[in-house]
Amino acid sequence: MTNSPLAAGRGPYDLQGAIDLHVHTAPCLFARLGDDIETARLCAGAGLRAIAIKSHHESTVSRARLSSQAVPGIDVVGGITLNWTVGGVNPYAVEAALLTGGRIVWGPSGHAAYHGEIMGGLGSWGRPGMAMPGSPDAGVQVTDETGQLTSAARNVLDLIGDHDAVFATSHLGPHEILAVLAYAKPRGIKVLVNHVFYLPRVDEEFLGKVVAAGGLIEIVSGVMLVPKLQKDLDYTYSRLVATIQRFGAESFILASDGGSVDLALWPYEQLRMFARLLLNAGLKEPELDLTLRTNPARLIGLPV
């Protein structure tokens, strides 16, 4: 027997209509629990309405389209991540991804300059089996030495706006994120700030700046499954609930950042756990519905 999507306090949380905009699948440079189609099938079976597949090394637009055709009942979204493996902040690669149906452009991840600062090296996550190929001399950035957006970054954001797509900040640094938001807000370009408190390492005051600049904020379940990160970042359910309620659920999206073999749980399992424990920690049912269904649907252009 399943519960209402808003039912609390009894049984597993019902994910019907939920959307996960941060899922990792094989083929990948790192070990993943399943490939695109297997992951889509399991998420569809759990009731998810849509998922977005992120790759650190290539566009997932074609992979997402084929997965949507192979798995009825779920919208699989693709995009491109601006690491050196696609040329960094490369407007040509971005335009091709958007013209073929991409809906999300992620900033650089393992090759981001900020990632290198936090993780102690470009292309490395400090965990066995997680290292990107190549030894780049410099990290990818969207700002120049003056702190202004580069012309390539402005071109990428303009393309995203033209296609009503989304720019997700991935592993950009705080100053880069604020520069992106300052450019995006007057132009109506949608921006999602990924896995806050992890990358970028920021406090709640920074989130206030994101909200004021019109950005949406992503909170991911994957950080909860790494005990050292959870402890070091004070990434507790009570803190996350307080943060969401301080700035308003209309400014947040929940996602899994799931698919890693190390984290063991499938993305939909992570999301189900995350939703239930956030409710237990005091998140209200309508707030959860906004962060898990309504906000992500609006972001990628699905009917609400």
| Residue 162 placed within a domain | yes
Calculate mean pLDDT across residues 133-137.
80
| Residue 9 placed within a domain | no
pLDDT at 203: 97
Here the CATH number for the domain that contains residue 24 is: 3.20.20.140
| Residue 238 placed within a domain | yes
Find the domain containing 174 and state its range: 19-300
Helix (H, G, I), strand (E, B) or coil at 281: coil
pLDDT at 12: 78
| Residue 280 placed within a domain | yes
Query: What is the tally of structural domains in the chain?
Result: 1
| Residue 111 placed within a domain | yes
Q: Residue 154, exposed/middle/buried by CB under 10 A (0-12, 13-18, 19+)? A: middle
Spatial contact of 50 and 300, defined as CB atoms under 8 Å apart: yes
Confidence of residue 11 (pLDDT cuts 50, 70, 90): low
| Residue 5 placed within a domain | no
pLDDT for residue 3 is more than 60: no
Phi, psi dihedrals of residue 65, rounded to the nearest 5°? -65, -45
Predicted TM-score (pTM) of the model is 0.95
Confidence of residue 144 (pLDDT cuts 50, 70, 90): very high
| Residue 13 placed within a domain | no
| Residue 11 placed within a domain | no
pLDDT at 5: 42
Model pLDDT for residues 208-264, shown as the tens digit of each residue = 999 999 999 999 999 999 999 999 999 999 999 999 999 999 999 999 999 999 889
Sheet of strand 75-77, all strands in order from the earlier edge strand to the far edge: 19-23, 50-53, 75-77
